[in-house]
Structure 1
Amino acid sequence: MVAGQPLRLGILGAGTIATVSVGVLPNLAQISDKVTPVAIADPVLERARSVADTYGIPKAFGTLEEMLDGAELDAVINLTPIPVHGETCRKILSAGKHLATEKPLATTMADANDICDLAAQRGLTVVCAPYNMLYPDRMQARRLIRHGAIGKVAFARVRSSHGGPASGNWPLDPTWFYQKGSGPLYDMGVYGIHEITGLLGPAKRVVAFAGITEPVRTVRGGPFKGKKIEVTADDNVLMMLDFGASTFAVVDGTFNVNAARGPKVEIYGREGTINIAGAPYGGEGPPLEIFQLDAVPGLGGWITPTLREVEAQTQRAFGLHRAILADHLADCVATGETPMLNVDHARHILEIMLMAEESSRTGQAVPLTTTFELPDREE
């Protein structure tokens, strides 16, 4: 990368996440001073070529290896399906490229450990979705908690589900979302785990229940309407996280929430409560509100913090949609700062999901071994 020049970015995957209106490519033009897409790769070469033509990307390839060999890249954004994240992330880092990847980081701890090791050994920056902890409302909530605004946190409830791709007008065949190696825990539960660990810090252990609620799903809309899908991944997961010192959180990860009201995240402390309505898949009410005992002497009440000073940041973050990953990567590469969406946090999230599966099989609480630290630049 030449100092002062945009990051030369390769796009791995030309599907929905790359091309939908809230996806990566339609929104990269907003950060053209930071990032330039110079190549795209997809197993369906004609799709890669079509997307390249649409977005003015100079080169299109049929494999990741061909793109790494055939294009001058500084970084790659990995938009592949969940089951191949680990393998493709390792290849990208082994080629000496910075990495932004969709969630989760991988599906095995061996792959996650290799990714962390490769990044450290080669001095490469990795950012991993979800991107929720970049949103100003989450950062403000984290600041309030760390500064004791609601006292000691006792417990939290986090909603991290929707009805599943088969419940709506998903533009592609949604079958793989319901198969072993994927499922709502990795697709949706990851958001809630990311948020609550971003707000409260690393968890110590996890206990979970999981199962299949409907062995065959029928696609309700879109081009595959009426298709029957055999469900082999657990489609209903409920987790409890133990953060130590009697602080707990309940997080769901299912394809069974077709509608919901109320906050997405509720955090209960000894001196108050924080609610986050929150996108994506948020609830009703203001983006962030706090109840404080004795908000004024002798009187408690709800307060909606004034976020005028971060309103522009909020609008920008929401407006970038999934291109916020590329934006965050470019900023961290340019400044050398530790990413808010850092690789150690992503590994911790993966361990929680894997150990939740183990807990659901054994009926036991499972200790966690990984940890992470988030940068303090939001302080």
Structure 2
Amino acid sequence: MEKVGIGIIGCGNISGAYLKAMAGFDILDIRGVADLNQAAAEAKAAEFNVPVSTIDALLADPKVEIILNLTIPRAHVAVGLRALEAGKHTYSEKPLGITFAEGKTLADAAAKAGLRIGAAPDTFLGGGHQTARALVDSGALGLAIGGTASFMRPGHESWHPNPDFYYDIGGGPMLDMGPYYITDLVNLFGPVKKVAGFATMLRREREITSEPRRGDMISVKVPTHIAGTLIFENGAVVQVTMSFDVAGHKHLPIEIYGTEGTLLVPDPNFFAGPVSLLKKGGDFEDQPVDQPYADGNYRSIGLADMAYAIRNDRPHRANGDLALHVLEVMEAFTTAAETEKTVGITTTVARPAPLSDSLIDGALGK
């Protein structure tokens, strides 16, 4: 099968994970990496033995079919629009945009141009999450009732070398970590119907405790503790907490409840992890994770799936409709907090097809 040319724009912290994982997917042909900081692009190109380029050159290269957009969240839509204008499909790091309105602008532009858009996260395609999905689809939980989704940490200033953007417009725990959790919940339950929520920003400054900027102060411009409830179209109700303010907790990342059982789902920031099922009247039992992509970091599988989908003229799983729906849901938490009202979600989306042992033909899970 003919490879799909990939141009990478953005050579920051996450680009290394992508470049490492992309080497495992034969469909992907890296045509070049580029960044506004040319030194960063040159360093990443040398580290992974890939061509260095410029943004303009990648957009002009007729062999580049997909622009992989790894810029900061505030630049996702601007770079995505440039890619579409150049006739390229685009796949971005999460979130699709920092507001639903700008995400909708990107989706509309893609539809008008007849081009594809996609976005991370793609961790829901990992073996742990596909195993959980298969159990839900098998009816093991009975009627879907609800669940909990919890990400609660002290904040990224303890480890990230330049954590400022996590606390700027477009950052915060919901836009940063919410995509992993809400995307996985949509994978399990289907689309969200309504959102209720509250949000707080109790600290206006943060001290960086990581190197090389230890001791620098960051201004906080976004809510850092968000809690609320998702009501899904299937009737399930899920409690959600996303926080950069909690010292530690014992909640599992995702728990799913049904009339006949309870399912413990792996951390959606990773592709693998234990899956445990309790059937009514019994005890939790670890389930065999027999789905592929459960033995490493495949942070580019969504891009590879998109490339195969282009070659086979089928839908890709980490698609623009899914990313836009998740973005609207995340924004609804803030709207609900500001208005003190439940917010209805205007978009809907089909659950992504389950993943088989092959990305090539996109066959449904067995």
TM-score, normalised with respect to structure 2: 0.90
* Equivalent-residue separation in structure 1 for 2:200 and 2:119 (angstroms): 27
* Equivalent-residue separation in structure 1 for 2:45 and 2:271 (angstroms): 33
* Equivalent-residue separation in structure 1 for 2:257 and 2:351 (angstroms): 22
Q: Is the 8 A contact 2:181 2:268 kept in 1?
A: no
Q: Is the 8 A contact 1:14 1:42 kept in 2?
A: yes
- State whether structure 2 residue 286 is matched by structure 1 residue 304: yes
What root-mean-square deviation, in Å, do the aligned CA atoms of Structure 1 and Structure 2 show?
A: 2.2
* Equivalent-residue separation in structure 1 for 2:270 and 2:27 (angstroms): 29
Identity %: 27
* Equivalent-residue separation in structure 2 for 1:121 and 1:49 (angstroms): 35
* Equivalent-residue separation in structure 2 for 1:245 and 1:234 (angstroms): 29
Alignment partner, residue 169 of structure 1 = 159
Counterparts of residues 1-379 of structure 1 (less than 5 Å): 4-19=1-16, 23-31=17-25, 33-61=26-54, 64-69=55-60, 72-166=63-157, 168-171=158-161, 173-244=162-233, 246-280=235-269, 287-293=274-280, 300-307=282-289, 309-310=290-291, 312-315=292-295, 318-320=296-298, 322-376=299-353, 377-378=364-365
Partner SS for 1:350 = helix
1:92 offset after TM fit, Å? 1.2
1:352 offset after TM fit, Å? 0.8
1:257 offset after TM fit, Å? 3.9
1:71 offset after TM fit, Å? 6.3
Partner SS for 1:314 = coil
* Equivalent-residue separation in structure 2 for 1:324 and 1:265 (angstroms): 22
Q: Is the 8 A contact 1:133 1:340 kept in 2?
A: no
Partner SS for 1:145 = helix
1:222 offset after TM fit, Å? 1.7
**Deviation digits for residues 38-77 of structure 1 (CA, Å, limit 9, x no counterpart):** 122211122222322333333421xx34431256311111
1:170 counterpart letter in structure 2: H
Cα distance, 1:227–1:95 mapped onto 2, change above 3 Å = same
1:30 counterpart letter in structure 2: G
Q: Could you tell which deviates more after superposition, 272-281 or 5-14?
A: 272-281
Partner SS for 2:24 = helix
1:304 offset after TM fit, Å? 2.2
1:137 offset after TM fit, Å? 2.2
1:46 counterpart letter in structure 2: A
Cα distance, 1:352–1:319 mapped onto 2, change above 3 Å = closer
Cα distance, 1:234–1:282 mapped onto 2, change above 3 Å = farther
2:294 counterpart letter in structure 1: T
1:189 offset after TM fit, Å? 1.7
* Equivalent-residue separation in structure 1 for 2:98 and 2:251 (angstroms): 31
* Equivalent-residue separation in structure 2 for 1:359 and 1:262 (angstroms): 24
Give the gaps of 5 or more residues in structure 1. Answer: 294-298
1:372 offset after TM fit, Å? 0.4
2:10 counterpart letter in structure 1: G
Count of aligned residue pairs for this structure pair: 356
* Equivalent-residue separation in structure 2 for 1:193 and 1:292 (angstroms): 25
Q: Is the 8 A contact 1:266 1:274 kept in 2?
A: yes
Partner SS for 1:196 = helix
Q: Is the 8 A contact 1:348 1:372 kept in 2?
A: yes
1:244 offset after TM fit, Å? 4.5
Cα distance, 1:154–1:104 mapped onto 2, change above 3 Å = same
1:190 offset after TM fit, Å? 1.9
* Equivalent-residue separation in structure 1 for 2:263 and 2:39 (angstroms): 49
* Equivalent-residue separation in structure 2 for 1:246 and 1:25 (angstroms): 40
* Equivalent-residue separation in structure 1 for 2:153 and 2:315 (angstroms): 31
Give the gaps of 5 or more residues in structure 2. Answer: 354-363
Cα distance, 1:282–1:122 mapped onto 2, change above 3 Å = closer
* Equivalent-residue separation in structure 2 for 1:57 and 1:282 (angstroms): 25
